[in-house]
Structures are given as C-alpha cells and as structure tokens.
Chains A and B, each alone.
Chain A
Amino acid sequence: MSAKRRSRQAFGQHADAKLRLSALLGLITLFLLMGGWYVWARSPQLGKYQYRVGQPITFSHRHHVEELAIDCRYCHGDVARGPNAGMPASQACWSCHSQIFTESPMLEPLRQSITNNEPIRWQRVTDLKDVVYFNHAAHIQNGVSCQTCHGDVASMGLVYQAKPLTMKWCVECHRKPERHQANFKRVIATRSTPPPPIDFESEPPDDSLHTQINLTDCTTCHR
C-alpha cells in the first residue's frame, strides 16, 4: 500500500535534495565557466596578451620610430644604463612639440603636464610580475635587442605587448642565450626585425658576449 502510494507521487522523497543539488551544481558549473573564461581571456600562456592599451596621448611609435627614425634611446635613455628603460620626461616631448603640432588637440595632456607641472599618466603595457627583477641594461649590454622582447615596436601605432613574457618564454632564452644574442652595435638599431643572432661559426666570437653566469639560477631574476 505504502509502496504503491509512493510510486504515484510525482516528487519522490529526495526530490528537494536533488533539486538543490542540481541547482548548486549548475551554479558551480556557471562559476567555473565564468572563471575559465576569465582566465582564458587574460592568460598570456594562451596567447592572450596582444591587445592595445588606451593611452592619454595616442602616441604612435610607427610615426616616431619608423617614419622619423628617432632612436629608441632618445626617449628611453636609461635602457643601456640601468634596470629600467626610463620614460621620457614631458620636457623631452616638449623639445619638439613646443614647435610643431602646437595646436593639436591630441597633445592637450602634454600641454597640461607642462603647464601644471604634473606627469602624464601613461598606461603600462609591458607589465612583468612583481616577483621578477628584470634589468634592461643587462640584456642590452649582453646583446639582446629591444625587438626580442618588445616585438616590432617600430611598426606599431599604439603599443601592445608582442611577446608572452611568461617565465617559460624567458627561460627558453636563458637556457640558450647565444641564439638570441647579437653584436651590441646592432642591438640598438630600430629595425623591424631583431638582428640576426651571431653566427659563432663564421664570425669570430666576441668575448664580451661570453658570460659564465648561470642564467637559469633563480637569483638571476628573483630575489
């Protein structure tokens, strides 16, 4: 009698629990999906790093580097001297733009900066994790060109991050640096492709490029 009655019931004894469980599972799946999307959408490991970043001044590297042939070091002057490449002071921009494009609305933030003595708030494009102590000078001095890590900036309008900059990507080079080292003279050149690596077979080895430092030591980049 009781079994019969139970079978006639549309909802079994555990119906509530099942409903709650499936609702919970559904919610978890939804969150996982959203989380997955979140990770996927911003993961450099999956190649998701090449997006342009809006800047206060729509600065075109293509115009300044490729068309006007200004050296990288004119603006990023500390690149061969210190850990940071350095960003141009507003006065550096002003040295030309006090004369040309003086009325351009695009340069309003620059004029504001000069007038109010306040820095231009550039948005960082190449942002390494804080646990990494990257040294620009060490790379430039050792024959790694700008293009190796920053890509073909000379052809970019608004700059985007061109390489993954993951630890895997860094370590690949640190394991076999000679594949990416060029002679210093060519390193700074603002050409669109990285200078060819030194062919140690045909070219007499440049002693200054040889380092006995074990580049895969943790302390090379982390401290």
Chain B
Amino acid sequence: MPPLRKSRPQAKLRSDEFPPGAPHWPVGMDRRQFLQVSASLLAMLGASCRPPRDEILPYVKQPEDQVAGLSSYYATTYHFQGFARGLLAESHQGRPTKLEGNPQHPDSLGATDASTQASVLGLYDPARPQAPEKHGQVNSWDAWKAEMWAAIGRCPNGKGLAIAMPPTSSPTVQRQLKHLRETFPQAAIAVDEPRWGPPPEPWDYDLESADVILGVEPDFLTNHPSSIRYARNFAKRRRGWETELQLNRFYALHSAPSVTVSMADEAHAATPDKRLELLKAIANQLNGGAKSKETFAQHAAEDLRKAGSRALVIPGTFASDSEKELCAQLNDSLGNEGTTRHSVKPVRIDCDNENLMSMDALGEQMDQRNIRVLLLLNVDPLTHGQDIWRQRLKQVSLSCYFSTMHSEAAQEVDWMLPRHHYLEEWMDLRAFSGEISIQQPLISPLYNTVGQPALLNFLLTGVMRPSYEVVRQTWLDIFGQSRESIWRETLRQGVGPKHFPQRTSGSINKTPPKPKTKEQASKYTLLMRPDPFIDEANANNPWLLELPDPITKQTWGNALWMNPEEARALNLKAGSVVRLNYGNHQVDIPVRPVLGLPANTLLAYAGYGRKNAGPHASSGVAIFPGESWTASASIQPIGKQVEMAETQHHFKMDGHDFVQLRKPGQEPKYKPQAETDSLYGKAPDKLANGDHAWAMSIDLSSCIGCQACVVACQAENNIPSVGEEQVRHGRIMHWIRVDSYQDTNGNDSTRLHQPVACMHCEKAPCEPVCPVEATVHTASGLNAMVYNRCVGTRYCSNNCPYKVRRFNFLDYQESQDSPSALQKNPNVTVRERGVMEKCTYCVQRINRARNEARREQQALKTDAVQTACQQVCPTNAIVFGDFKDPASAVRRRHHLESSYSLLKELDVRPRTQYLPRWLNPYKEESHG
C-alpha cells in the first residue's frame, strides 16, 4: 500500500469533507467556565446600573462674545472664478457649519449659489490630503522646504523654475507674483486657462434697467462673477404681480439649454454657426438693413431698436470671439453705455493681460527641457486630459502640486502639498467691480496644511511667514498708514473700498487666437460646458454630486445631451450608451435626449469621472473640453443601456396647471374657491389660534431653478446624501426639490421651475393617518414632525399629495467619527434609520428668533425669520413670514389675486402658495 502522504488528491478530498478544525477538541472555554463568566457578567451588569455619563469641557479662557449654544457669524470670502463673493459664515463654538451671503457684498447681496453653499462640506471632506506626501508617502514640510530651497538655489535668477496658478483677483497673490518676477526674472510663470471658461467681458450689466435683453449663448444668471446680482436684478423685472412694473423681455439665442436660457421669453436654439448668422441678421436689421427671414431675429431686432439705450445684448461666456465682438458693436449702436452697461476695470490676472505665460507655452518650455523645478499651485493640467503632461511632469527634477484636494497630478508629481481650505486660510480677493474683501479663517487648520500666501512667501524668502502677516503686508503696501482702520472695518463688514491692480505692462497683450486646425467634417458638434455645480475643488462633494441638474434632473454623473428627434431617429433612449469620439478622446457615455438642443449638436458637462480626487469624484464620465470648449464629434451606439439616477422622470404637465402661466394683460385664470367639505374637517382659522401663522410664498416668475435652495436646506437641516443607487430607488432625501416642466405651448428652451417643499397644509392629509401622532399641527400652523415618536409606517408619505416626505430607509448619516459629522447643525436632530422627515419651515430658526425677541422683551419683528431656502435665494423668489402680521411680505403676496395653491382641487389649504410664472413673449400690437 502506498503511503497515504503521497496521495495528495485523496487527502485533499478527505479534508474537504469536514469544516476546518472539525477533528480537534475545542479548546478554551468549557461549559463550566462559560456559566461562570455569564454569571459574573450579569452581576457586573447589575452593579453598573448608572446611565452613561456625558462630560462637559468648558473653556480654559473664555473667548469674548461667545454665548454657549448660540452661533456667531464672521465675514469671510468665497473665491468664485477667482473673484470674491462675500459670505457670513456661521460658527458653532469655532466650528463652521453654514455659509450665508453677505448682504453688504455687491456680488452676494445676502445670497449665494449652490456650489458656495456646499463648499463648507469640503472643509470636512475625509478625502482631503492631511500632510505633505512625497511619492505618495507621508512626509514633513521641513523636508519639502529643504528640498525646494536647494532646488531653487540651483536655478540662478529663476532659470529653470516654473510656477503655474489659476487666474485670481487677490491683491496678495498679485503682489507676490510681482515679487516673484523681480526675484526670479527668468522664471516661467504661467496662468492656467480657467476651467470655468474664458474670462468675463469687461462690462458690468445693469439688468434692472434693461427692458429688452438679447442673450447670445447666455449664462449670466449662473456663470458670471456677478451672477447673483444679475439674477436678483433680472428677477426684479419679472414680477408681473407688482403693480407699475414693466416686464422685461428676454431673447435667448443659444445652442446649449441652461438655467439662464430656461428663463427666456423668446428662445431660438441654433448650432454655433447658425447662431452667428442669426446674430449678424439681427445686427443687419438693427442697422437699417433688410428684415431677417427668421421671425426670432426679426422680433429681437425690432424690440432692441424700440428699446434703444434701454436694451442690452449680453454675450455668454461660451459665445465665440466673433459673436462677442458683434455683441459689443450692437451695444455700441444701441448706445446703452451708462444705462444698462458700465465698463469695469479688470481686477483678475489672466494670462493675456499680464504678459504671463499660458500653460501651453509652459508645456513647450518643458518639452525643450528648460524647466527643472515645477510648482503647480491649484493647477492640474492632467484634469484637462492632456496626457502629454504626464510625461512632462516626469521630466523635471522636482515637481510639486499644491492644492486642497488630491488630483490626477498628485499621483505623478514628486510632492503633493496640502493647502488650507479657504475657511482655514487668510487671503484677500476683489469683487468683479473691484471691492476688496478679506478671506478670514473660521477655524484653525484641521490638518498639517499651509496657506498659499505662506507658501509663496517661502519661495521668495525661504521663510514660511504666516499667511496673516503676508496679507497684512499687502494691505500696508496698498493703504499705507490708514491700513489699520480699513483692515478692521473690512474684516468686520466683509467689504472694503474699491481697489484696482496696477498693470505691469501698459498695453493689454492679448494672445492672438490660434488658427484652428481644420478637423475632419463630422456630423455632430460637441459642446462641452463646465458642470453647473462641480469644479476641480469640489469634485468630491457629495452634496453637489447628488444635486439634480437644473435641466435634466440627473444626479451623480453626466450624460450626452442630444436633440430628442435625432435620438429617436437613431433609436436611442435616455440611458443608451454610445461611444463618443471627439478630438483624440473616446468615451462611452449615456445619451439623454434634451428638448431645446439644436439638431446636430451634442452637449456634455466636464468635471466628472476624476481619477484621483476622492471616492465620489469618479462618478460620471470624464470630458476634456480642451481650449475651445467645442469639438466635432461622432457617436456610435454600443447597444448598452444604463439607468441614470434622475429625480424627475416626467417633464410635461399633461393638462394640469402645477405651474400657472400669465401674460401681461391677461386675467387670472382661477379665482379663490370656497372651502369644500372634506374628510379632514374644516380648516382652522389662520388668525384665530397661536401667536403667529407661518406661511410661505414662492414666486415662480423669479425662480430661475438654480438649486441653491436645495443645498442650503441640506446644510441647514443635516440632510444626508444617499448615493447613486438609492437615488435610483427614489430615496433622495432633499426636503425641497425644484420641479421642472416644459412650456408645451411656447418654445422648447423655456423651462418652468417650481420649488416644492412641505406645504404645511392646514388640513394636512398626513396627520390623520399617523398611528402614533408623530406628525401633528402646532398652534402657529406648522405641520410638525416628531422624530422620536415616528415608528416608520410611511402612511403619511403615502397620503401626502405633494410627495415631500422623506424616509430614512437606511442609515444614511455618516458615522460620528467621520470629519463630515462636524458640519452638522447642532440645532437640528440628526435623524436615524426608520424615521420620516420633511421640511419644518426651519423651526429652529423660528424658535431662535422668538427667543431672541423674548430676550429683548420685544415682539417678533416683521419678517425676522428667514428660512434657509429663502435666505440663499439669489432672486428672492421665496418669502416666508407671519401671515398674521399685516405688514408681512408673505401676507401681501398671499392676498394677490394671482396667488394660488398647488393641487388646489384637493383643498388641503397649504400654507405655501405660489405666484404664477409670467411670460412676456413678443407682441405684434405693442409695436404698431
């Protein structure tokens, strides 16, 4: 018999028959020991019968003006496209939780946009780099300093040293840049082509005075340093319910559907080439030439001529250079300078106005091996899809990438240097119109990071002077002796005096546009646009990734937008994946038919599909816009179908009137109706009970659908992100959503936006069906949700006609140990799994205002309470207040004849009412 040991297969077979360890006696605890341990555990359990203890850790030294449990506000500044946007940051015992706009700042006016709102979460992003890394290994700043300083020493006069940075309006950076050029005259200093599009035109628009606006590929409501002010002024002229108001008329000549285009009275979708033709036709007709054959151009030219100096032509960021030139000529011939348009001095350094190098020129230098030391300050050429840079980064002897977030370049460079988040860093910035403001840190740095002023100071002097001192030095240079009072006042107010940079070169040296290489003729033109919310700094921000796109309501990714008829012809549905070829890139991307996109045109957002920028940033498909933001493209279906995570699937009203439409001179269609008999009993008298009657009014003429309210609500009310998969299941948690409808009687490009949150019905259908009375009414008319009573039957949600209740199907909140938990608002409960939640009308703000009024021994002032969605709204579309107060804005709006409630036929008496969307299309008779 052969020895058993040799027959391996048999032995293997036998050992597989029983679970591992089966032949061994159990060792360790026997039964007696088990019982002993259980008994002693029980005894110990009994002996330890005390509730868990909390600790209180008071200050060692009490800070001034801190009231325990109350938040304080500090003025600081957000950098929007390199320009300042004033903020008031809310801090809870040193922990920034929420950002509000600074009412004094010209480019904020108390409001912000979605990206700004979400930027506070970036501070607590667990994916942030927390220490300098050399080749991916954690290292120290001292090591980098030694290496860098030695490397600089090997660059006489800066020869071989290269620095790249994005455009900025910061006086400190501009001063340091000047010093850098003096200290290192031969250094290559490049300014990146901005990732948010070409620089804005040097004009400031006064949209409040404009009667007729023609936008060419317009995006001034969202994608402009002053877009918040523009949105506010634009909306002031849209409120048809205001007496004595002449509505403006907005013509949009566009290729890409966008938030701005969705507000158009008259829109015309055309391919970029056709767009220019039409604009020429308009100019021709305006200058006395022949009437255009196209009615849009005809009407636009007629209205522009009629309005004269009160008309305005605005080229969008992505209008072509020839269009921008033509728009300037049109404006000149209208003679609107001084009325609707004012020239501004540029405050931002871009590569063409400071004789700085472009990234391409820097790349050429690197190819010629002229660069030995490269420092990338918040610039990652790899995110632009230029793979050639991968090689270039390897060629230099020392490459460093300095940024708040990891990025593609961070993997390729020698040193990844973490930067302060802007809420940790001293800096200064200018508004579009020149007002200087201070970026004040709210919290001392969470990690081993440094500020940009300190880092640049190190390059100049070899010492990392604190950023604060560097910024103060700038102010000494600018304001001289009076700096102290100006500094203090600016720090307090958030806005300082106007100040403009001195040009180093007398003339603006505009780099001539490169002759475009003639591409092979393809059927499609691919328009690439920056995502409305995502950019390089916040690519990993779950709030923004989960924020539905204003037009398609897609979350967690991008799609290839396509004309619906073309898509049908190719048998492509939403979610059909196609292989997209453009430039020298090829990607697989799902198709999304979008109304309002001209034929032969495709559109995709850039900013998604990042490789090394955090766990969330990889969602979506990477699109590299290159320099021109357009490319000819071809598509090929690959027969795959994906389900996109969308929050709205049907965009037609199908005969309903969710969004009511009104035109000037038109009578309201509906009159308030008498109360009907109902299962829910009679509505209580608003004015009888309670001390207040809280109510809300949303003006659909003002709402531009920018989604800022959604993120503001999320930040204020501790609303979790749920992730792509859960969004597909319809489990998104946003308390307020912005529904979007097509205007089926008008043009394809106009969208009707309607923010919907809990309506706080007086006869709330959710209340009688709750078996545990977890949702009940308060005397002041709030439909209260009591989390600790809720057992999660979801009956209330079933019975809610507006579908605004949200259920925690899973434990969506991040763990207590995650740094993101620090963002939570301590005044709002963090809901756990199995609990229903919904809009509370920001009851924590109501309570705070009430307590403050009580402390002052005064009655609550009119409109003292602002909900988060109201406060953030750039256009003041949302008004909240006490219906009982005769002076309140909400009462005034509710009493307007056109004010209506959504699904009024149900007669649930919602406290939130809407004002109709006013449209002002071209009218023949007004030109007779």
User: What residues of chain A have their CB less than 8 Å away from a CB belonging to chain B?
Assistant: 30, 34, 37-38, 41-42, 51, 53, 78, 80-92, 113-114, 117-124, 127, 129-131, 133, 135, 137-138, 141-142, 208, 211-214, 217-220, 222-223
Which residues of B from 836 to 859 have beta carbons under 8 Å from A? 840, 843-844, 846-847, 850-851, 854-855, 857
A89 touching B56, Cβ below 8 Å: no
Q: Known interface pairs A37-B46, A84-B69. Does A131 touch B59 (Cβ–Cβ under 8 Å)?
A: no
A142 touching B784, Cβ below 8 Å: no
A89 to B58, CA, bound (A): 5
Q: What are 16 A-B contacts with C-beta separation under 8 Å?
A: A34-B46, A37-B49, A38-B46, A42-B50, A80-B855, A83-B69, A119-B59, A120-B58, A121-B56, A122-B55, A127-B53, A212-B691, A213-B690, A214-B779, A218-B784, A222-B786
Q: Known interface pairs A83-B70, A119-B58, A131-B829. Does A42 touch B46 (Cβ–Cβ under 8 Å)?
A: no
Q: 1/0 per position for B56-96, CB-CB distance to A under 8 A?
A: 11111110000111100000000000000000000000000
A121 to B57, CA, bound (A): 5
Which listed residue, A83, A133, A212, A220, touches B68 by the CB 8 Å rule?
A83
A80 to B57, CA, bound (A): 20
Which listed residue, B61, B827, B847, touches A90 by the CB 8 Å rule?
B61
Q: Known interface pairs A211-B691, A217-B780, A219-B782. Does A89 touch B59 (Cβ–Cβ under 8 Å)?
A: yes
Q: Known interface pairs A89-B61, A214-B779. Does A42 touch B854 (Cβ–Cβ under 8 Å)?
A: no
Q: How many A-B residue pairs lie within 8 Å, measured between CB atoms?
A: 147
Chain B: which residue is nearest A90 at the CB level? B60
Q: Specify which chain B residues have a CB less than 8 angstroms from the CB of A142 in the assembled complex.
A: 854
Q: Specify which chain B residues have a CB less than 8 angstroms from the CB of A211 in the assembled complex.
A: 691, 854
A223 touching B68, Cβ below 8 Å: no
Which listed residue, B60, B69, B843, touches A114 by the CB 8 Å rule?
B60
Which listed residue, B49, B50, B62, B778, touches A89 by the CB 8 Å rule?
B62
B827 touching A122, Cβ below 8 Å: no
A82 touching B68, Cβ below 8 Å: yes
A80 to B285, CA, bound (A): 71
Chain A: which residue is nearest B61 at the CB level? A91
Q: B817 an interface residue at 8 Å Cβ cutoff?
A: no
Chain A: which residue is nearest B782 at the CB level? A219
Q: Specify which chain A residues have a CB less than 8 angstroms from the CB of B56 in the assembled complex.
A: 87, 121-124
Q: B289 an interface residue at 8 Å Cβ cutoff?
A: no
Which listed residue, A38, A83, A121, A214, touches B45 by the CB 8 Å rule?
A38
B778 touching A217, Cβ below 8 Å: yes
A53 to B844, CA, bound (A): 32
A78 touching B847, Cβ below 8 Å: no
B843 touching A223, Cβ below 8 Å: yes
B88 to chain A, nearest CB (A): 19
A51 to B55, CA, bound (A): 16
Q: B677 an interface residue at 8 Å Cβ cutoff?
A: no
A40 to chain B, nearest CB (A): 8
Q: Known interface pairs A38-B49, A42-B50. Does A82 touch B69 (Cβ–Cβ under 8 Å)?
A: yes
B854 touching A117, Cβ below 8 Å: no
Which residues of B from 400 to 423 have beta carbons under 8 Å from A? none
B90 to chain A, nearest CB (A): 15
A124 touching B53, Cβ below 8 Å: yes
A155 to B782, CA, bound (A): 43
B538 to chain A, nearest CB (A): 29
A118 touching B68, Cβ below 8 Å: no
Q: Specify which chain B residues have a CB less than 8 angstroms from the CB of A208 in the assembled complex.
A: 857
A84 touching B840, Cβ below 8 Å: no
A96 to chain B, nearest CB (A): 15
User: What residues of chain B have their CB less than 8 Å away from a CB belonging to chain A?
Assistant: 42, 45-46, 49-51, 53-62, 67-70, 689-691, 776, 778-780, 782, 784, 786-788, 827-829, 840, 843-844, 846-847, 850-851, 854-855, 857
Known: A89-B59, A127-B51. 11 other contacts (CB 8 A): A37-B46, A38-B45, A53-B53, A78-B70, A83-B68, A83-B851, A90-B58, A119-B58, A124-B56, A214-B779, A217-B784
User: Would you call the interface of chain B mostly helix, strand, loop, or mixed?
Assistant: loop
A186 to chain B, nearest CB (A): 17
Which listed residue, A118, A120, A122, A213, touches B691 by the CB 8 Å rule?
A213
B777 to chain A, nearest CB (A): 9
A80 to B68, CA, bound (A): 11
User: Would you call the interface of chain A mostly helix, strand, loop, or mixed?
Assistant: loop
B61 to chain A, nearest CB (A): 5
Question: Which 10 pairs of residues, A with B, have the shortest CB-CB distance?
Answer: A41-B49, A83-B69, A214-B779, A84-B69, A84-B68, A212-B691, A87-B58, A217-B778, A82-B67, A124-B54
B690 touching A212, Cβ below 8 Å: yes
Q: Specify which chain B residues have a CB less than 8 angstroms from the CB of A81 in the assembled complex.
A: 67, 70, 855
Q: Known interface pairs A83-B70, A127-B51, A214-B778. Does A223 touch B58 (Cβ–Cβ under 8 Å)?
A: no
Chain A: which residue is nearest B63 at the CB level? A89
Q: Specify which chain B residues have a CB less than 8 angstroms from the CB of A131 in the assembled complex.
A: 787-788, 829
Q: Specify which chain B residues have a CB less than 8 angstroms from the CB of A121 in the assembled complex.
A: 55-57
A50 to B430, CA, bound (A): 60
Q: Specify which chain A residues have a CB less than 8 angstroms from the CB of B60 in the assembled complex.
A: 89-91, 113-114, 117-119
Which listed residue, B42, B55, B62, B691, touches A92 by the CB 8 Å rule?
B62
A30 touching B42, Cβ below 8 Å: yes
Q: Specify which chain A residues have a CB less than 8 angstroms from the CB of B691 in the assembled complex.
A: 211-213
B850 touching A137, Cβ below 8 Å: no
A8 to chain B, nearest CB (A): 31
B123 to chain A, nearest CB (A): 24
Q: Specify which chain A residues have a CB less than 8 angstroms from the CB of B844 in the assembled complex.
A: 133, 223
Q: Specify which chain A residues have a CB less than 8 angstroms from the CB of B780 in the assembled complex.
A: 213-214, 217
Q: Known interface pairs A30-B42, A38-B45, A223-B843. Does A218 touch B70 (Cβ–Cβ under 8 Å)?
A: no
Q: Known interface pairs A84-B68, A137-B855, A142-B854. Does A218 touch B54 (Cβ–Cβ under 8 Å)?
A: no
A90 to B690, CA, bound (A): 44
A24 to B632, CA, bound (A): 76
Q: Known interface pairs A82-B68, A219-B840, A223-B829. Does A42 touch B847 (Cβ–Cβ under 8 Å)?
A: no
A78 touching B57, Cβ below 8 Å: no
Q: Specify which chain B residues have a CB less than 8 angstroms from the CB of A223 in the assembled complex.
A: 827-829, 840, 843-844, 847
Which listed residue, B53, B788, B851, touches A137 by the CB 8 Å rule?
B851
A217 to B59, CA, bound (A): 35
A30 to B43, CA, bound (A): 11
B62 touching A91, Cβ below 8 Å: yes
A41 to B47, CA, bound (A): 10
A85 touching B68, Cβ below 8 Å: yes
Which listed residue, A53, A78, A88, touches B67 by the CB 8 Å rule?
A78
Chain A: which residue is nearest B47 at the CB level? A41
B70 touching A214, Cβ below 8 Å: no
A218 touching B69, Cβ below 8 Å: no
Q: Known interface pairs A34-B45, A122-B58, A131-B788. Does A219 touch B854 (Cβ–Cβ under 8 Å)?
A: no
A69 to chain B, nearest CB (A): 22
Q: Specify which chain A residues have a CB less than 8 angstroms from the CB of B846 in the assembled complex.
A: 219
A42 touching B57, Cβ below 8 Å: no
A123 touching B827, Cβ below 8 Å: no
Q: Specify which chain B residues have a CB less than 8 angstroms from the CB of A87 in the assembled complex.
A: 56, 58, 68
Chain A: which residue is nearest B773 at the CB level? A218
Q: Specify which chain A residues have a CB less than 8 angstroms from the CB of B857 in the assembled complex.
A: 208
A81 to chain B, nearest CB (A): 5
